[in-house]
Amino acid sequence: MEKFFKLQERGTSVRTEVVAGITTFMTMAYILAVNPGILSATGMPAGGVFTATALSSAIAIFFMAFLANLPIALAPGMGLNAFFAFSVVLGMGYSWQLALTAVFLEGILFVLLSFFNVREAIVTAIPTNVKRAVSVGIGLFIAFIGLQNAGIIVKNDATLVSLGKVTQNTGLLAIIGLFIMGFLLAKKVKGALLIGILVTTVIGIPFGITKIPESWSPLARPAAPLLFQFQFDKVFTLDFFVVFFTFLFVDIFDTIGTLVGVTTQAGLINKKGEIPQVKGALLADAIGTVAGACLGTSTVTSYVESASGVAEGGRTGLTALTTGVLFLLALFFAPVFLLIPSAATAPALIIVGLFMMSPIKEIDLSDYTEAIPAFLTIIMMPLAYSIADGLMFGIISYVVLKALAGKFKDITVVTWIVAILFVLKLIIG
């Protein structure tokens, strides 16, 4: 393990990596409950989707561990699964089999782009200050998700969002969990986030939030995945191209944004702003998407919740490997993992948001051609509820402001191309 994962070189240990991997799993295990719920609205069997979710996540994570040696976990992406179900199938009227076909072909193209270093070139083209801003923006985004999951922040028709009920139910439980984790962190307890999630889950039992069903058993037999449920008869239509392109575009920039943000937080980006083994990381993401489509789930992508494992000290692929093993175990212990309420994982997401704020200290705020793009990247991620959209505003504003200021040398050719693609996305919609 030492030789393969280079633990000592990255200042970590087996114990730290395992705890980090468990923590990452605990903060993203909600996908095992949420994804089947969303995709089953299309008529897909929920049990089959659950199996596909766990298996595709494990496959993608193992490739991330061994190809890239990064502490990044992957699973079917939130937002992309909603687009799959509510836009493509229920909105446009396509079958879920055709939607899976679009995901499959997108994944194949991703594999090719990864082999020819196209995606790696895009990562390199992101300006250094925007890279730092991505980490901060993801921090705010992930904290916002946590606040929403807990019911601390709720929808408001007049102001879009407002404060929920924090003196009862999930809001109160999440705040209790936040104080528990804060105390453990202040005392420098290893595994503070994981311990906090578990303790909060137990406290949720008398609250009636952690619900243990009657005749509950921790074991369950996995349902069969939805193998190779493809439909190729409409792949040459204009509507199919729009669906395919949307999956492609959102996934590529969500993945890039997550990789940049989490590796920045982990201190793994070198002085040139490069992510180590980024080609392997992008290839793992692409392989996960292909595997997910073959098994019966929507696009697999890198997860911002990986930052929770990084916050616990995860620095290598051993963190990812641990998370992948737990996804496999989840196939048989699904009832156990599904007991954990979102109110128990929400405090961890909020605290991770704090951890990911640290790169803001390194952003050059004296040069407005650097500061404004960084700020837009940060603020648009939580407000647009999209990592990709935040990165889009950052890149476009960077190119426009640099060009207006006559600083053309700061803009690489690939950065120009990425900015133009983003502008086309805004125009096309």
List all residues 6 or more positions away from 81 whose beta carbon is below 8 Å from its beta carbon.
Answer: 34, 35, 38, 39, 297, 298, 299
With beta carbons less than 8 A apart as the criterion, state whether 368 and 122 touch.
Answer: no
Give the C-alpha distances (Å, rounded to integers) separating 305 from 21, 91, 289.
11, 29, 18
Q: Give the whole-angstrom CA distance, residue 76 versus residue 300.
A: 4
DSSP secondary structure letters along 233-265: TTTTSHHHHHHHHHHHHHHHHHHHHHHHHHHHH
Residues of the chain short of pLDDT 50, as ranges, are none
Residue with tokens 């295990």: 29
Query: 200-232: per-residue pLDDT in tens?
Result: 999 999 999 998 888 888 887 888 888 999 998
Residue 144 has a CB neighbour count (10 Å cut-off) of 19
Tally DSSP H helices, then E strands, for the chain. 19, 4
Asked if 312 and 1 count as a contact pair (C-beta separation under 8 A), the reply is no
- Residue 359: both structure tokens together: 């790169």
CA gap 52, 321 in Å, rounded: 18
3-state helix, strand, coil split of the chain in percent (to 5) is: 70, 5, 30
Dihedral angle computed from the Cα positions of residues 55, 56, 62 and 67, in that order, rounded to the nearest 10 degrees: 160
Interatomic CA distance for residues 98 and 209, integer angstroms:
38
The residue written with tokens 């125009």 in the block is: 427
